[in-house]
Structure 1
Amino acid sequence: MDTNNFITIGIDFGTSSFCSGGYSGRFSIIENDNSRELLNFLTKKPVEEANFSFGAISEEKIRSNLKDIVFDYKILLAKDYDEIIRENLERMPFHLEKSKQNRVRIILGNNSFEPEQILALFIEKIKDLAEKKFKKTVNSCVITVPCCFNNSERQAVIDSVNIAGIPNVSLINDNTAVATTLAYENKLIKGKNILIFNLGAYYLNLSICDIINGCIYIKASSSFPNMGGRKIDLTMARYLFKNTQNIDFKSENDKKKFFQILIFECEKAKIKLSYSDSTDITIMSILPNDQDFNATLSKKNFDEINEELFSKYLEHVQDLLNRINLKKDDLGEIIMVGGSSRIPKVRDLLSEFFSKNVNLSQNASEAVAFGAIIRAGFLSKQKLTSNNGYCYEEISSNNYFLNITMNDEEKFCLKKHWFENLPVVKNIDFYLKNQNIKFKLQLFEQEKLIWSKNFSGQVERGSFTLNVENNGIVNIDIKLLSNASKIELVNDEKKYCLSNDKKEVLSKWITEIKKQQEKKIQIQTVKNSIESSCYSLKQWLDGTFCQSSSEYYVLSKQLDDSLKSLKEKSNFAEIDEKLKYLEIIRQSVKNEKDTWSSLTCLRLNINVLIFKLENLQNLKDDNFERLERLKNYQKKLVLNEIISDNNELNKIIKDVYNDKEYIEQVILCQVYSLFESFKNDKKISGKNFVKICKKINIENCADKKNLEGKLKSILGSDLFEEIKSTESFSSLWNLI
C-alpha cells in the first residue's frame, strides 16, 4: 500500500461545532465555506432523502423550519431516552422517539435517525472536505471525546466514524489533545501540575498533567456535562422568559418557538457581553400581534444570572485537586481553552481562586483540534518538526467492576479504579474440580450495570480478563479449559449501542446518501453550464436578429423554454439537445460571415415549421405524422447528418405551406432576413437567398398583394420601393 495516497486527519468533535485538519508538510485546518469550523447544525430539507445542509443556520430557518434542524446530538449518543428527555427537552425543538431498546431516535420530517447516523453524516462531510483539500484518501482519524464519555458513548463515536467510511479510529480525550498542543509548542515555563480548564458548549473538562521533556503524564481528569455555554444560554433564556409570563400566546407551539429562538439570541448576547458592558436583545415580530421582543442585559446582570453555575466550576476544580492531594499553590500553570472560556467573569474567578493570572496563550477554539491533528500526524508517521507530545500516558476517569458469580456465589471481582493509566488489564485465574459450573458475569460502569452474561459448562480451570483499551473501550476475555473463546462487549449485547447488522445497514445508507449528493452536484454543474449557454445564446440572438423577425421569435422562445425547464427540473438531456441545435445555428452564422449556408437556413425553417405545427389548435393525424418526421430531420441536422430523402422533406414542407397564413409567415421570415441584411452591411446576398428559397421549394404559394402590404408596413414604403427595384428582389418576387 502506498501510504503517500492516504492521510490521517484530526477532528475536534465539539457539541456546537467541528474543527478538523491534517498534516501534509504543514498543519492545516479544513475549512468549510471559508470558516475554520463546521457548525454542528444539520437541516433536513423536504422531498429528497439526501437533501441535507450542514453548518450555520439563518434566523429565517430558525423561525420557519426549527423542527427540521438538529443540533446538540452529541449528548444523545448511547443515552437512555428518559434521561435525555428529562435533561434536555427544553432546548431541543426537534422531535425524539424511543426505540424498543429505549434508545433515542431523532425525527426529521417523515424519517427517524439514529444519533450515530447524524454524526456519521458530519464525519462523511469532513472526510469529503479533507480529501478535496489534501488530494488524498482519508483512511484513519483521531477524534476527541470528553474524558467522562463512557464505554457505550465511545463505541458510538467509533461506530459513526466507521459508518462514514473511515476504518481506523483513535480516540483521544479533549484535554489530552490540549496537552499535546502544549507539549508540541514547548512554550510553558512550568511543566508540572498544569491545570487545563476547558469550558466548551456543553462540557466542563478538567485535567491536571505534567509535561516533562515533551512527554505528557495525565494525573487526573474529570468531565461534567450540562455545565458549558449551552447551560449558560438556557439560564439566560429562562430569566428573560419570565418577563413574558403575562403574554397571551396563541398556542403552546408559538410559546415554545419563541423560547427556542430566545435561546439562540441569548447565545449571541453572551458573546457580545464578553467584550462590551451591555447588549440589547431584539426579536422582530415574534410576540402575538407581530409585536417585537426587546430586552437589555448588562454584564452585571449576566454575572448574577449565572452566579450559581460559575461557583460550581470552582467546586469541581477544588474537588479534582483534593482527589490527588494537591493544593492550589502546587499548580504551575492554569490553561484556559474552549469557547466559553472567553467569559470575563469565569477568568476572573479562576484568577482570584488561585491568586495568579490564568494562561490565555492558546487559541480557545482550536487548541483541542490542533492536539488531535498533531496526534494524527504522529500516527500517520509524518515527519513533524518536533516529537514533543508523541509520548503520553492516558487515563480513564471511569470506574469498572466485573463481578463473577459461580453457582450463585460471588467469587471474584475485577476492578479498574479512577485515574489508572490506559491500557488497563485485570486478570484472575481459577482452578476447580472438573464439575458443571453456572457462571454469571456482570460489568458495572460506576454503579450502572452495562453488560451481563450467563453460561455454564464442565470446567476444570480458566481465566477472566477485564481489559480497558487506550480508546477507553472495555473488553471481557473468558478462557476455559475445554473451550477457549474471547467474548467482547459486542454491540448486540450492549443496551444502548448499535448492532453489527444495523451498522452495516447504516454504512450502505451513508454510501447511498453520498452517491445522491454527488449526483445532485453533477446535476447542478450541468444545470449551471446549460444556463450559462442559454444566456450566452440569448446575448448572441439579441445582437444578430431583428427582434420582430420570425427567426428571433422562434429561437428566443426556445431559449426561454429551456430556462423555464431548468427551473422546473426537467430532463436536462432534452434541454441540452435544444441548445446544441441553437449552438449549431450560431456557429453556422459565425463561420459563414458573408452568407448563411443552405443547411443553416434549412435548420431554421424546419424549426419554424415544428413550432407552428405544435401550436396548431386542430392538429390532424396527417400533421401529426409530418411533425414526427420533421423532428427526426431536426435531430439529423443537429448531428450534422446528411438528409438523403430530400423529396420526402420537400413534400412535407410544401404540404405544410398550403396553409395560406402559414405560408405568409414563413416567407416573411425569409424575406425580412433579406431586407435586414441589406440594412446591415449586406451580410446575406440576395442571390444566395434566392438559391436557398429554391432549395426548400418555396414556390408560387402566396398572395403577393397581401404580402406586399405587410412588407410595406414593416419596412416603410420608401425602403420597400428601393429594395423592390433590385435584381435580387425581383428574382425572389418571381418565385412567389
Structure 2
Amino acid sequence: MDDLVIGIDLGTTNTCVACYRNGMVEILENSEGGRLTPSWVFFMKNSALPPIVGQCAKRMVHTLPPNGIYETKRFLGKSFNAIEETLKYFTFNVENKLGSPVIKIERDNYTQELTPQEISSLILKRVKKDVEDKFGHKVEKAVITVPACFNTTQREVTLAAANEAGFTVLKLFNEPTAVALSYFFKKEDANDGYALVYDLGGGTFDVSILKRTATNIDIICVDGDTQLGGKDFDNLIVDYVCEKTEHYDWDPKQNRRKMCRLQNICEEAKIDLSVGEETSIILDGFVSDQEIEIELEREEFELKAHTLIERTINIVERCLKNSQIKKNQIEHVILSGGSSRIPKVQKMLFDFFARNTLRKFVHLDECIAEGAALQAAMLATNATQKIEKLVMTDVVPLSLGIGAWPDRMNFVIKKGAPIPTRKSIRVETIKHEQTTITFKIFEGERLNIKKNYYLGSLLLENITPAPPGQCKVWVTFTIDHNGVLDVKAKEQRSNNSKELTVRYTRGRHSESEIKDALVDAEKNQKEDESFDTFSKRKLYLLQYCEAVKYNLRILNLIEEYQEVYSLCKIIQTKIKNIHVDNKSELDNLISEAERQCVPIVKNREFKNMPLSQ
C-alpha cells in the first residue's frame, strides 16, 4: 500500500484531502475528525513548542493574533509589491525582504522569519501525518491542485513546499479541471459537449472551459485571477462595519485581536446572507462595554459585491472569447468554491448564460480534492486505485522550439499537441570543426525567435570536430504529466549528451497572453513568410562561405585563392548585421559570393556545398 497516491486541495482557506480506492472517492478526515483542515498555522510564544496547524490554530489565533498565519496561498510566488495593498486586512506581520514577502513572528526573545512556501509546507506536513496515521503506513505520493491561473513561479513554489513536506508530487492539477473531473465522474449520464467551471474559492478565482466526450475531458481554455476570492467579499463587510461604527472613534484594523474577531464575524455574516435575506452583526465588547448591533440586508451586500462579481463574469466572458466558443454551446456551468454559494453570483451567471445550465455540488468545498483523488488514481500503480472511466487530456498552448541561426525558430512541439508528449529534431553544425552548440529554447508561434518567449538555454560541448554540416545532433523535447519540459541534446555518433529541465506549464501565461500570441502570429503571417525566405537565404550564404573556406583549406588552395578566402570571411562578418529589411544587401552579397566562387567550386569539385536558396 506504500504506492497509494492521494489528492490534495491545498486551499487558501481550507485544505482538503481525498483518496480513490476500490471504486469510490473518500474524503480523509484529519486527526480532529474534520473533513476540512483550515489552512492556518499558529506559533506559540515559546519557541521550543512546535507550530500548531488547522482548526486548533484558527481557534488559538485570538490569544496572540500576530502569531496566527493564514491565507498565505495568496502570497505564493508573488512580489511584496503585488500583495502590499491587501496586507491591511491581515493580523500578522509581513515585511519586504529583497522584494519578496516575509512573515515575521515574535517568539521568546527573537524574531522568526518564514516564507509563504514554508507555511504551505507546514500545512502539508500536517496533512501527511494525518493521512499516514489513518492508513497506518507512509504516504508519499500526491496530486496537488493549484489555480489554473497560477504562473510558473507559483507552481514551482508549490512543488517546493510539497517536497519539503516529504511528498513526491506526480502532478500539479488545475483546480477547475479537478472540479470537472469530479462532476463528470459522478454524472455518467451527463451529455457530451462543452462545460465551463466557475471556481470562486477563498483566495482565487478560476474559469476553465472543457469538452466532454464519452471517455475524455479535453481542456480548451483557462483563465482567472489570483487576487479575487471569498476573502474579498468578507473584507467588503469588514469595511461596511468600520464605516457604520466610525463615530465610536475606534479602528479595529489597529487592534489585531479585534480584527481577528471581526473577520470571523463578517465571514459568518456572508454565509448567513447566502441562505437568508438579512443578518445581524453583533459586536460585543469591541467598544468599551457596549454591545453594538448592525443590520445588513442581502440586497445591500449584493450591491457592494456587484463589482467583484462583475469581475468574475468579465473573466468568464474573456475565457469564452479566447476559446472561440459561444455561450449557447456551454451545456454545463459547474460551480465550485464556497463563495459560489452567494445567490447574486448564481443569478448573474444564470442571466449571463440565459439558460438553465448551472450545476451545483452538494459539497462545494470538497469537489476539488475529489477530482485530485481521481487524477491521482489515474497516475497510481496501486491495484486498489485502478480507474478507467475517464481520461484527462491537456494540450500544449503555444509551440515550443529552439533558436537556430539567424534568429530562426525551429519548431519541435507544435501548439495543440496532447500532454504528455515527446518530439525530436535533427540539427547540423554550421562551422568547420565546430565543438560546441548552444540551444536556446523558445515558446511561441513566430518564426523570428526575438518575438517569442525565451525559456532557457542548453550548451552541448565537446562534440566531434567535423566538416560543416557533417556533425549531427538530435534534440528531444519531452513534456510530462506535470508540465515539466525536459530538453535533451545528443550527438548522433557518440554518447555525448546534455539535458536541461524547464518548468513549463499551461499556467506560464494567462489565456489572454496565449490568445494574443496566436493572434499576433496570424496577423503577421506575411511578415513571417518574408522572414522565412530571408533567414533561409542568410543561412545559405553563411553555409556557402563556410563550405568554400573548408574546401580551400583541405585542398591546400588558400594561398592560390587568397582573395576568395578573404572575401568569404568578410561576407560572413557582414551578414551577421543584415536585417530582414535589407534584402537587397543580402542578395548583392549572395551574387558577389557566387560570382567569385562558382567557377572554383565547379572546377575543383568542392564537396559538401549547400543547395542554392
Provide the TM-score with structure 1 as the length reference. 0.59
Q: Deviations over 1:452-496 (max 9, x none)?
A: 5586968765465555432123444445678521022489xxxxx
Distance in 2 separating the partners of 1:400 and 1:115:
33
Contact 1:151–1:474 (Cα < 8 Å) also in 2: no
Distance 1:58 1:158 in 2: 24
Alignment check: 8 A CA contact 2:152 2:503 kept: no
Between the aligned partners of 1:208 and 1:326, the Cα distance in structure 2 is 9
- Provide the C-alpha distance between the structure 1 equivalents of 2:486 and 2:101, rounded to a whole number of angstroms: 25
**Structure 1 residues 478 and 105: alpha-carbon distance in aligned structure 2, compared to 1, 3 A threshold:** farther
1:370 matched residue in structure 2: 370
Q: Is residue 2:70 matched to residue 1:71? A: yes
Report whether the alignment pairs 1:93 with 2:91: yes
Match of 1:212 in 2: 213
Distance, in Å, in 2 between the alignment partners of 1:346 and 1:77 is 27
2:349 alignment counterpart: 350
- Indicate the SS of the match to 2:262: helix
Amino acid at match of 1:487: L
Q: Percent identity?
A: 23
What are the within-5 Å matches in structure 2 for residues 485-564 of structure 1?
485-489=498-502
Q: Which residue of 1 aligns with 2:409?
A: 412
Number of residue pairs the alignment of both structures matches? 480
Change over 3 Å in CA distance of 1:380–1:273 after alignment to 2? farther
User: Which of the pair is proportionally richer in strand?
Assistant: 2
* Alpha carbons 2:156, 2:503 under 8 Å: kept: no
Higher relative contact order, chain-length normalized (CA < 8 Å, sep 6+): 2
SS across alignment from 1:120: helix
* Partner Cα separation in structure 2 for residue 490 and residue 176 of structure 1: 20
1:26-67 Cα distance to aligned partner (Å, 9 max, x none):
532221212110011111112134422122368874444221
Query: Aligned equivalents of 2:321 and 2:381: distance in 1?
Result: 39
- Alpha-carbon distance in structure 1 between the residues aligned to 2:89 and 2:396: 30
Q: How does 1:239-250 map to 2 (within 5 A)?
A: 239-249=240-250
Query: 2 CA distance for matches of 1:241 and 1:70?
Result: 23
Aligned to 1:308, the other structure's residue is in SS state: helix
SS in structure 1 opposite 2:346? helix
- Give the AA of the match of 2:155: R
Alpha-carbon distance, 1:292 to partner: 4.7
The answer to whether structure 1 residue 183 and structure 2 residue 184 are counterparts is yes
Shift, 1:417, TM fit:
8.3
Measured against aligned partners, the alpha-carbon deviations of 1:603-629 in whole angstroms (never above 9, x if no partner) come to xxxxxxxxxxxxxxxxxxxxxxxxxxx
CA distance in 2 between partners of 1:304 and 1:111 (Å): 42
**Inter-CA distance 387–426: structure 2 relative to 1 (3 Å threshold):** closer
The aligned residue for residue 139 of structure 1 is: 140
Please state how far the C-alpha of 1:427 moved relative to its aligned partner.
Answer: 5.8
Quick one: distance in 1 between partners of 2:399 and 2:89?
32
Q: Which amino acid aligns with 1:164?
A: A
Residue of structure 2 equivalent to 1:129: 130
Q: Which residue of the partner structure matches residue 231 of structure 1?
A: 232
Q: Measure the CA separation in 2 of the matches of 1:225 and 1:313.
A: 12
Q: 2:87 and 2:135 mapped to 1: Cα distance?
A: 40
Letter of the 2:363 counterpart: N
Aligned counterpart, 1:8: 5
Alignment of 1:36-435 (within 5 A): 36-56=35-55, 61-86=60-85, 88-100=86-98, 102-109=99-106, 110-249=111-250, 253-254=254-255, 258-259=258-259, 261-287=261-287, 289=288, 291-357=290-356, 358-378=358-378, 379-383=380-384, 387-389=388-390, 391-395=391-395, 404=403, 410-412=407-409, 421-423=418-420, 429-431=426-428, 432-434=430-432, 435=434
The verdict on how the C-alpha distance between 1:216 and 1:381 changes in structure 2, with shifts beyond 3 A counting, is: farther
The 8 Å contact of residues 15 and 38 in structure 2, kept in 1 or not, is answered as yes
Q: Deviations over 1:184-224 (max 9, x none)?
A: 22344322111222211122221222322232222222232
8 A contact 2:21–2:384 mirrored in 1:
no
- Residue 303 (structure 1) shift: 0.6
Change in 2 beyond 3 A, CA 1:429/1:149: farther
Instruction: Tell me, in whole angstroms, the C-alpha distance in 2 between the residues paired with 1:83 and 1:405.
Output: 37
Note the C-alpha offset of 1:372: 1.5
Q: How far off is 1:328 after superposition?
A: 1.5
84 and 219 in structure 1: CA distance in 2 versus 1, 3 angstrom threshold: same
**TM-aligned CA distance change 1:243 to 1:422, over 3 Å:** same
> 1:426 & 1:258 partners in 2: Cα distance?
59
Q: Note if contact 1:142-1:372 (Cα within 8 Å) is conserved in structure 2.
A: yes
Evaluate the alpha carbon distance shift between residue 321 and residue 57 of structure 1 in structure 2; reply closer, same or farther with a 3 A threshold.
same
CA contact (8 A) 1:403 1:410 kept: no
Could you report, residue by residue, the CA deviation over 1:220-264 in whole angstroms, capped at 9, with x for unpaired residues?
Answer: 22232222211211233233333445554489733x665554333
Deviations 1:112-166 (A, max 9, x none): 1232222222222111111221223213111111122222222222222222222
One-letter amino acid matched to 1:216: I
Are the aligned partners of 1:154 and 1:472 in contact in 2 as well (CA < 8 Å)? no
Q: CA deviation at 1:71?
A: 1.0
C-alpha distance 212-106 of structure 1, shift in aligned 2 (>3 A)? same
Change (3 A) 1:438 1:53: same
CA 189–169 in structure 1, closer or farther in 2 if over 3 Å, else same = closer
Q: Which moved more, 1:295-304 or 1:14-23?
A: 14-23
Q: Report deviation, 1:20.
A: 0.6
Distance 1:184 1:383, change over 3 A: farther
1:278 and 1:251 mapped to 2: Cα distance?
Answer: 23
RMSD: 3.5
Amino acid at match of 1:485: K
CA distance 1:155–1:206, shift in 2 (3 Å): same
Contact 1:440 1:455 in 2 (8 A): yes
Given the superposition, is the C-alpha separation of residues 108 and 182 from structure 1 closer, same or farther in structure 2, using an over 3 Å criterion?
A: same
Q: Quote how far apart the aligned CAs of 1:104 are.
A: 3.1
For 2:104, give the aligned amino acid.
I
2:507 is matched with which residue?
none
Measure, in 2, the Cα distance between the counterparts of 1:294 and 1:11. 40
Instruction: Give me the whole-angstrom Cα distance separating, in 2, the residues matched to 1:158 and 1:334.
Output: 30
Distance 2:88 2:415 in 1: 33
